[in-house]
Structure 1
Amino acid sequence: MTPPSITQLLIILLIIVLLFGAKKIPELAKGLGSGIKNFKKAVKEDDEEQNASEQSQIKQTTATTENTTLKDSQKQES
């Protein structure tokens, strides 16, 4: 599929201006930009939350392993 030519892009732009008006287009672009920004922020927060959860699980596993090892060594000393 070939990309649209400049003439086709200008026709599309003209139709958009006719449909929404010149004053609405900046508002639509601003809304789209803030939506993308909020989406990226939510994805980043979700990744950070998931990493924190994984680190917590690793700490719990390490602590459990250390406790088991300590108990085993105390039993062997007895």
Structure 2
Amino acid sequence: MLGLGAPELILIILAILLLFGYKKLPDASRSLGRSLRIFKGEMKGMKDDDVRSKDPARTTPVRGEIVAPADPAAELEAEARAAELRAAELRAQAERSRTADGPR
């Protein structure tokens, strides 16, 4: 273990405050959080790729091999649902911006 006690932690926090200033700390922590989220997502993607490479049913096709989707109708329905959700979000956003602007 590192053996960090309360005095060491206080000194570290003080040094960070002196280096960045209290106004930039929220932005720095937000940026760090985003970076960690991206890193975590990439690691999960790599893990999923490893699982797929071990599953013979999910391997990538050989050059020239034609692979039909498992269920094209289900894929189209999923794409349609996603498009409908996105359209609903855009309509709600437009409505909010119209009400925020007020009557004309």
TM-score (norm 2): 0.47
In 2: Cα distance, 1:43 partner to 1:22 partner: 32
**Residue of structure 2 in register with 1:34 after alignment:** 34
Long gaps (5+) in structure 1: 60-78
Structure 2, unpaired ranges of 5+? 60-104
Quick one: distance in 2 between partners of 1:2 and 1:31?
A: 26
Q: Which has the higher contact order (CA 8 A, sep 6+)?
A: 1
CA RMSD of aligned residues (A): 2.4
Structure richer in helix, relative to its length: 1
User: Given the superposition, is the C-alpha separation of residues 24 and 51 from structure 1 closer, same or farther in structure 2, using an over 3 Å criterion?
Assistant: same
Structure 1 length-normalised TM: 0.60
Runs of 4+ residues over 4 Å off in structure 1: none
Q: 1:43 to 1:58 in 2, by over 3 A?
A: closer
Larger radius of gyration: 1
> How many equivalent pairs are there?
59
